[in-house]
Structure 1
Amino acid sequence: MSRIDKFKGVIPAFFACYDESGEVSPERVRAFTQFLIDKGVNGLYVNGSSGECIYMTKEERMLVLENVMAVAKGKITVIAHIAALSTRESVELAKHAEKCGADALAALPPYYFTLPEYAVEQYWKAMFDATDLPFIIYNIPGTTQFTLSMNLFNKMRTYDKVIGVKNSSMPTQDIQKFKSAGGEDFVVFNGPDEQFISGRVIGADAGIGGTYGVMPELFLAANAALENGDIRKARDIQNSINEIIYTMVSCKGNLYSVEKEILRHQGIDIGQARLPLPPFTEEDVPVIDRCAEMIVAAKAKFC
């Protein structure tokens, strides 16, 4: 068995779960974890962008992971995103993730200040040096304004604990470059949900995405179709996924606010998105209802 086998497949980016007062809800974290396990996903990516990590304290992020692991440990793969503004805090989160039993660490580069590549390398290295867990680079230049160069990528590949990259740049060519340089024993995750199938075809071993949580069945079906060689079906499912995504992002409210309301249609309440992410508006309600209906129709057609 390859060391990357357990990181393959469809891995939803876990949403932040709050109670009615806006505090992290352990009960809702556990319920949402079980909800996704029951859907058959291959793993969870916890405390990333979809988990609203930049709006949480270190202690809140620890609380989220603890409650995910209380349900998921030993059942599915869990990747803990641990990047924080300071290296010290990131290292604390890394040690906590190992103590909780997470399967791997992941981190985006330092954000806010623009740092040279050698400083980014040291930032990441401090995290995986602090534990025995494997490490996954998170490349998301649209948010961090830092693009993972092949020079830095190749330096990171010299560290045995670095086993993969989550690539959320839009060019699928980046996936091909990282996979070609990384090799078969290196896992590349497709990031942009709208190109899940495109990314998989060009070399991604798996996908981590922020819309998987509201329609995991569709991503699982697309992945299965691709692995079965049914490119036409995989493409058709991707097209349906994209229409749903385009409709969701047409709302005035933030995407995560919209997705959490769609989840209520599916019987799971994980609260609202945290400010400053804007809540959905009254005019968004019929659009959200339409998205929920589109998901139901697509599942009936493809799953």
Structure 2
Amino acid sequence: MRLEKFHGIIPAFYACYDDQGDISEARTNALCDYLHEKKVNGVYVGGSSGECIYQNLDERKAVLSYVANRLKGKMTLIAHVGAPSTRDSITLAKHAAELGYDALSAIPPIYFKLPDSSVYKYWNEIIEATPLEFIIYNIPQTTGYTLTTALFEKLLANPKVIGVKNSSMPTMDIERFKRVGGDNVVVFNGPDEQYVAGRIMGADGGIGGTYAAMPELFLQANEFFLQGKFEEAKRIQSCINDIIIALCSQNGSMYAVIKEVLNRRGVNIGGVRGPLEGISTEDLGRIDSIVTMIDEAVQEFCK
């Protein structure tokens, strides 16, 4: 029962900047309010969608603070604290614990190719720095490190390790991790393009970078799955995938395009931070069609 608060749809929270490209408390609050109104299950703060790699320690601490001040007690809060150094990761972990987050999460160490022993030590030192529960973040396509079931099982010996956010593409990985952990762990589907497939293979919910662009569709996909309406779930996943392909097919980065989609919804959270590319003039007209795709899918499936 204690793990149920981590089930369902948990959007990855976006970086919210002012017009000068600095972290904006007001715009962070606006995104918090928007997601709360949409009734998502929680938020995953400070991860890839939060552009954490391009923010300094003080900025990341500020974002964690703003979100906690706005949403604590209203939904599940997971703080991503992975950083280039163990020291900075622990600093972020302690800050999140003080703010009252429900759990921590972290990618493995990046840049240097490290052995399992180093990765285990890194994660374990973060875990032992606070009383909070911990969710491993497996995203080999960006970190270059693939979590094995053997290391996962070793980490699960620590009772504070409650699951894994699995963003590798094979759905088999979800099945393998769930088989190792059983009902005592939460496995999150990471790739948004396979949310329904991930749920069928054993995922308890999802954390995704496009959820906040179309929360209604992912919430409805989750409902279809829970109701056993698998044909409907497949159809809505197909529409979601069409939208994701469009989001990723513009000149600007996917996150820049998503932010403009949100801007059309009245939620201005600024642009993206370099080296991510902002939207181009040519993108603007095409984003209109993406907004229409989302609206039509919501109208079709979320009656």
Same topology, TM > 0.5: yes
Alpha-carbon shift at residue 128 of structure 1 (Å): 1.2
Alpha-carbon shift at residue 71 of structure 1 (Å): 1.1
1:227 has 2:226 as partner:
yes
Separation (CA, whole Å) in 2 of partners of 1:286 and 1:189: 34
1:182-221 equivalent positions in 2, closer than 5 A? 182-221=181-220
* Residue of structure 1 in register with 2:51 after alignment: 52
Separation (CA, whole Å) in 1 of partners of 2:238 and 2:57: 38
Deviations 1:247-301, CA, capped at 9 Å, x for gaps: 1111011000000001011110000011110111111112211111100111111
1:82-101 equivalent positions in 2, closer than 5 A? 82-101=81-100
* Residue of structure 1 in register with 2:171 after alignment: 172
1:111 is aligned with what amino acid? I
Alpha-carbon shift at residue 140 of structure 1 (Å): 0.1
1:43-192 equivalent positions in 2, closer than 5 A? 43-192=42-191
* Residue of structure 2 in register with 1:257 after alignment: 256
Separation (CA, whole Å) in 2 of partners of 1:155 and 1:288: 45
2:154 is aligned with what amino acid? K
Tell me if structure 2 keeps the 8 A contact 1:18–1:28: yes
Percent of aligned pairs sharing the same letter: 53
1:4-23 equivalent positions in 2, closer than 5 A? 4-23=3-22
Provide the secondary structure at the position in 2 that maps to 1:184: helix
Separation (CA, whole Å) in 2 of partners of 1:217 and 1:279: 25
Separation (CA, whole Å) in 2 of partners of 1:226 and 1:81: 27
Separation (CA, whole Å) in 1 of partners of 2:33 and 2:234: 29
Tell me if structure 2 keeps the 8 A contact 1:104–1:136: yes
Deviations 1:180-232, CA, capped at 9 Å, x for gaps: 10110100000000000000011000100000011000000000011011111
Separation (CA, whole Å) in 2 of partners of 1:195 and 1:158: 29
Tell me if structure 2 keeps the 8 A contact 1:3–1:185: no
Deviations 1:78-104, CA, capped at 9 Å, x for gaps: 000000000001000000000001000
1:3 is aligned with what amino acid? R
Alpha-carbon shift at residue 3 of structure 1 (Å): 2.3
Alpha-carbon shift at residue 246 of structure 1 (Å): 0.6
Provide the secondary structure at the position in 2 that maps to 1:124: helix
* Residue of structure 1 in register with 2:294 after alignment: 295
Separation (CA, whole Å) in 1 of partners of 2:127 and 2:58: 20
1:302 is aligned with what amino acid? F
Separation (CA, whole Å) in 1 of partners of 2:141 and 2:285: 30
1:232 is aligned with what amino acid? E
- Alignment root-mean-square deviation, CA: 0.6
Over 4 Å off, 4+ runs: none
Q: Which runs of 5+ in 1 are unaligned?
A: none
Separation (CA, whole Å) in 2 of partners of 1:187 and 1:151: 17
Provide the secondary structure at the position in 2 that maps to 1:288: helix
Tell me if structure 2 keeps the 8 A contact 1:24–1:60: yes
Alpha-carbon shift at residue 233 of structure 1 (Å): 1.0
Deviations 1:157-199, CA, capped at 9 Å, x for gaps: 1111000000000000000000010110100000000000000
Provide the secondary structure at the position in 1 that maps to 2:183: coil
* Residue of structure 2 in register with 1:286 after alignment: 285
2:69 is aligned with what amino acid? A
Q: What TM-score do the two structures reach when normalised by structure 2?
A: 0.99
Provide the secondary structure at the position in 2 that maps to 1:291: helix
* Residue of structure 2 in register with 1:274 after alignment: 273
Separation (CA, whole Å) in 1 of partners of 2:172 and 2:127: 28
Provide the secondary structure at the position in 1 that maps to 2:228: coil
- The count of residues paired between Structure 1 and Structure 2 equals 302
Separation (CA, whole Å) in 1 of partners of 2:290 and 2:64: 29
